[in-house]
Every structure is written in structure tokens, then in C-alpha cells.
Amino acid sequence: MDTDRIYTIKEKNHFYNRLLNCFVLYACEEKYFKSFIDLEFQPIFELQSELEYAFMPVVFDTSIRFKNINAKMVDRLIKFKETVEALPEELWEWSELYTRQEWIDIRKEAKDILSTFGEANRKFEK
């Protein structure tokens, strides 16, 4: 990451909002999540894409650098990412998202992370 680059407040907020959006999506209850589904919103693709985007260096590192994320949270967020990425391919199906314990645990952790950020009631921004 270019640490000499000057980011605007709008850019800093954008990066932080993208990070939070990832956790909102992983924390969604089934009814709320289903409300997004249409031809342009495919749930599994969106889960994977949001995680990838949230942890891009420009998003994640900038959010840390500008103290949108407390340094004490970094390891927890990285662990969340690693847990999700470690899910076997067969669990990446809509039918598994609300029935498998792995997904239930991920959803609980995403909710806890949002609470820690003071964003427990935050809504997903499409």
C-alpha cells in the first residue's frame, strides 16, 4: 500500500463502510438475506466477493491506519477471514448457510464483530 498517499475523508469512510458491509452480509439472518436475492445479487458470490473486497490491502490496511479499526481487533478480523476461507467447497451452497454449524458460528462471530464496532444494527448497502 502506498503509505504516502493522502486519502479523502470520503475515501476513508468508503473503505471502512466496505469492511463493515462484509460483516453485515455474513451476519444476515435468512429472511433479511433472501430479500436481496435477484438476478444481480447472487448470495454465494456476494459473500465471497464482500470478503475478498473487505480484506484488500487498500481497504483493510487503510481502515487500520486511519484508526477506523482498533489495532486490537486486527487479529480477530483476520481469524474471521481465515475461518471463512477454510470452509470446504461443499458448504458454499445456499442450502447450507442456515443449517450447518460452521455457518451458524460464522454468523454469530460476524454479529459479535459488528457489536464491537458499535454497528449491531447496521444494514447491508447493495
HSE of 24, CA atoms in CB hemisphere, 13 A:
17
Residue carrying the nine cell digits 460476524: 110
Q: For residue 97, give the nearest of 2, 33, 14, 3 by alpha carbon.
A: 33
Q: Give the domain ranges of the chain.
A: 9-116
pTM over 0.85: yes
pLDDT tens, position by position, 72-119: 999 999 999 999 999 999 999 999 999 999 999 999 999 999 999 999
Place of cell 458448504: 91
Give backbone dihedrals phi and psi of 41, rounded to 5 degrees, phi first. Answer: -120, 105
**Confidence band, pLDDT 50/70/90 cuts, at residue 3:** low
- Model confidence pLDDT, tens digit, residues 27-68: 999 999 999 888 788 899 999 999 999 999 989 988 898 888
